[in-house]
Every structure is written in structure tokens, then in C-alpha cells.
A and B are shown apart, each in its own frame.
Chain A
Amino acid sequence: RKEVEQDPGPFNVPEGATVAFNCTYSNSASQSFFWYRQDCRKEPKLLMSVYSSGNEDGRFTAQLNRASQYISLLIRDSKLSDSATYLCVVNEARRALTFGSGTRLQVQP
């Protein structure tokens, strides 16, 4: 079983749509959680951290359920510029990040 699992997609959605990505992780000792965005042939860029209380940044909302070891990302009012691969990332203290394989999003006009 992979340490971090994501639906690879692709998710093809029209502009303005709401789209949700899910992620599960296997290591209950994981301590911090992030969503990164990766554009084609580029390095990953931090989108947002994820907290148990849930957090929102503009059109993006992230949720964490530690009991279920489940993380989600909701994107509202999708823009063409949101097209990218979204990486669910989990961190154990003092270790490197563990990346999911990514979910590809394609927003269409």
C-alpha cells in the first residue's frame, strides 16, 4: 500500500466549477500535511498547509481528518490557471516529505 494515495485523475472541469480532491495516508505518526501544486516540468510549489480545524485560502479549502487519515482539497470557481497537478504531501517530524502521486486537474473554457 502506498504511504500517500490520491486519485490520479485527470479531472476535466469547466471554468467556474467546484472540484474536490481526496487523499489518504497510511502513517498515523504523520504530523503535518500540505497541498502542493506542480505545473508541467516545474518544481512543486506550496499551495497551503492543512490543519485539523480546516482552513481556507480564497477559493481553496483544505480539511484534515486524523481519525480517518484523510485529507481533502476543495477548489471553488475554478480558473483556467488552476490547471495543474495537485500533490498531497505528508510530513513526519525530522523526515523528508512524502508525496502522493498527484491528481491532475484540467480546467476547460
Chain B
Amino acid sequence: GAVVSQHPSRVICKSGTSVKIECRSLDFQATTMFWYRQFPKQSLMLMATSNEGSKATYEQGVEKDKFLINHASLTLSTLTVTSAHPEDSSFYICSARRQGEWDQPQHFGDGTRLSIL
């Protein structure tokens, strides 16, 4: 069964809306979660690393004021796309790694397909 839950799976909204995406680890503690974005026919690109209890680490070119990340507990990280525009339309996927398992594969959420009109 799923070990990482991501919600919502699909969002369609107007330009200028802010959208919040949740990523939960269901049966384990994840001090670190990762947010990826995937445009059509492209690979997953890491946006940011979400650290429980501290600030997220953003990849180069990702605006931290645009993509707000909050990781307030060991099982929940949220990504808020603020004032979304059509160019933000993409597939957003989170992943989580069990605490201490640095060399193990990550568990992915189902992804959120965001469409901004």
C-alpha cells in the first residue's frame, strides 16, 4: 500500500490563485521530504528539499517566495504555489525517505497535476 500520500491529485484553477499541496508519510517519520516538478516529456527536476523544523533548501532557479514550503511535523510537508500562473502548470511530486535511510530509495506520492487557466 501507499506509504506517501499526496493531496490533491488534480487542481484546475484561475491565474493568480494560490494552491497548497500536501505530502504525508503514512507509516514512518520523514525528517526530509523532497519536492519535484515534471513538465511534459521531461524528467523530474528537484525543486527543494524540505527539512522538518527548519527552512527548506531550494534548488537554483526556484523562487522560494513563489513556492512556499512548510515541514512542521515529521509526517507532513506542504508546498504552496503562490499566485500561480499558467507557466506553473506542471506535475508536482513529493517524496520522502525514512529517517536515517540515506542510501535507500525514496517513496513517492501520487503526484499533483496542476493546471492554471
**Which of A39-47, A63-71, A72-80 lines the interface with chain B?**
A39-47
B contact residues around A98 at 8 Å (CB): 46
Known contacts: A41-B91, A43-B108. The answer to whether A101 contacts B103 by CB under 8 A is no
Number of A residues, CB within 8 Å of B = 24
Q: Mark B31-54, 1 if CB is under 8 A from A, else 0.
A: 000101000001111100100000
Whether the Cβ atoms of B111 and A43 lie closer than 8 Å is yes
Check: B113 CB closer than 8 A to any chain A CB. Answer: yes
Whether the Cβ atoms of A45 and B102 lie closer than 8 Å is no
Looking at the complex, which one of B42, B43, B46, B111 makes contact with A96 (CB distance below 8 Å)? B46
Known contacts: A41-B91, A41-B113. The answer to whether A94 contacts B43 by CB under 8 A is no
CA distance A87 to B93 in the complex (A): 15
Check: A32 CB closer than 8 A to any chain B CB. Answer: yes
Residues on A lying within 8 angstroms of B by beta carbon are 31-32, 34, 36, 41-46, 49, 87, 89, 91, 93-102
